[in-house]
């Protein structure tokens, strides 16, 4: 895979109205300990069931000399929340997970990104993250939806963060919010970045998910294909090549996109990621998602384009009509793919038991 987006924990110190996942929120006392304990029990199993070797061939960098005909690059693992820097997630989950990833992949040069809202970062935390192998600290709370970050209000925080990062020997990654220019980062020096749900970003129209949906904030229409973009389902089955990414929830569930389909593809607490993806390769519905054309996922099961587009209609909580391909995808998963995913899972587990 080019990239793994691993949500370590549901815990967050904010309850943002535009959040794509309602479970990202503050937890206290026993509820906080419960989500922390889930993450502590899960992350070792998830990491164990990731591929032993993480790398990919960059289809945007053909080479006459490189094996396979393309430049060979180390993959990325993005550790996110929620907010991974809140206590006790930082000490009990994030730091041990970083240590486990470094033990498994450190010699391979896999780049680890820690994603945070930014407002909990301290010089000591920066030092701790770098000491555990973090290559990038990505501050994702730089938008008008995060309270206190509206417009120019976020500039003082960005200035403080830059000062902290650069004092620790980090440099600005200069990553663009509208293009995937990760491979321009050829130096080993650790980097930092800022982004948020701004108009120029790929998430600027707001995903129809979680509290964003509950608050009727999505501005996406039927012409906005979130699937056919980075962090969507595009390329998720192209394991070993650029563009391949999956999203992993704190309980180990695997999804083809950060937005998350209505049902998971499998669970990394019980299966290897490679086995899950191999079982989906060639399946018409999942190949359609991987090609960035969710509207074609039901063609083999009688859902023609007209049916899918009609299923993409709904009404927002504020009573306004809404149309987006994510809605059609949700309904196809709920009405058709649920039993199919269960059948595929049982076949994988049966094969696993037979091999033991």
Backbone phi, then psi, for 156, in 5-degree steps?
-60, -40
209 in any annotated domain: no
Q: What is the pLDDT of residue 256?
A: 97
Of 197, 215, 241, the last residue of a domain is: 197
CATH, residue 166: 3.20.20
Q: What is the pLDDT of residue 180?
A: 57
115 in any annotated domain: yes
179 in any annotated domain: yes
Q: 3-class SS at 352?
A: helix
347 in any annotated domain: yes
Of 197, 229, 256, the last residue of a domain is: 197
Backbone phi, then psi, for 42, in 5-degree steps?
-90, -45
For β-strands 191-194 and 171-172, DSSP reports them as parallel
Could you tell me which of 300, 293, 280 has the C-alpha nearest to residue 328? Answer: 293
97 in any annotated domain: yes
Q: Which residue segment(s) compose the domain that 68 sits in? A: 3-197
Residues with Cβ within 8 Å of residue 266, at least 6 apart in sequence:
253, 254, 275, 276, 279, 345, 348
Q: What is the pLDDT of residue 145?
A: 65
Whether 189 and 292 map to the same domain: the answer is no
Here the tokens at position 177 are 């919010």
Of 175, 197, 219, the last residue of a domain is: 197
Mean per-residue pLDDT over the chain, rounded: 91
User: Average pLDDT of each block of 10 consecutive residues along the chain (356 residues)?
Assistant: 96 91 95 96 98 94 90 94 95 98 94 93 97 93 66 82 95 69 66 74 80 95 93 94 96 96 96 96 97 96 95 98 98 94 93 88
Q: What is the pTM of this model?
A: 0.93
For β-strands 253-255 and 266-267, DSSP reports them as antiparallel
């Amino acid at each position: 895979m080019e990239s793994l987006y691993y949500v370590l924990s549901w815990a967050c110190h904010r309850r943002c109205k535009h959040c794509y996942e309602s479970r990202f929120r503050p937890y206290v006392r026993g509820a906080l300990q419960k989500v922390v304990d889930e993450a502590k029990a899960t992350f070792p199993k998830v990491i164990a069931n990731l591929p032993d070797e993480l790398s990919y061939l960059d289809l945007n960098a053909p080479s006459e000399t490189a094996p396979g005909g393309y430049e060979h690059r180390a993959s990325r693992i993005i550790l996110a929340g929620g907010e991974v820097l809140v206590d006790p997630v930082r000490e009990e989950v994030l730091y041990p997970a970083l240590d486990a990833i470094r033990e498994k992949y450190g010699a391979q040069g896999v780049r680890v990104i820690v994603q945070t809202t930014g407002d909990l970062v301290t010089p000591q935390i920066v030092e701790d993250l770098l000491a555990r192998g973090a290559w990038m600290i990505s501050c994702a709370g730089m938008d008008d939806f995060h309270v206190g970050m509206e417009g120019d209000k976020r500039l003082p925080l960005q200035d403080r963060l830059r000062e902290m990062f650069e004092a620790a020997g980090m440099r600005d990654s200069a990553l663009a919010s509208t293009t995937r220019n990760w491979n321009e980062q050829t130096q080993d020096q650790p980097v930092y970045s800022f982004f948020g749900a701004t108009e120029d970003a790929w998430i600027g129209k707001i995903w129809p998910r979680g509290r964003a949906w509950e608050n009727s904030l999505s501005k996406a229409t039927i012409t906005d294909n979130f699937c056919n973009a980075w962090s969507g389902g595009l390329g998720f089955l192209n394991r070993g090549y650029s563009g391949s990414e999956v999203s992993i929830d704190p309980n180990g569930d695997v999804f083809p996109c950060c937005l998350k389909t209505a049902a998971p593809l499998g669970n990394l607490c019980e299966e290897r990621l490679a086995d899950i993806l191999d079982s989906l390769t060639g399946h018409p519905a999942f190949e359609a998602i991987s090609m960035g054309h969710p509207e074609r996922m039901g063609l083999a099961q009688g859902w023609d384009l007209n049916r899918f587009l009609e299923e993409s209609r709904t009404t927002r909580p504020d009573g306004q009509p809404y149309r987006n391909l994510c809605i059609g995808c949700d309904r196809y998963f709920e009405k058709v793919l649920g039993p199919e995913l269960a059948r595929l899972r049982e076949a994988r587990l049966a094969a696993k038991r037979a091999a033991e």
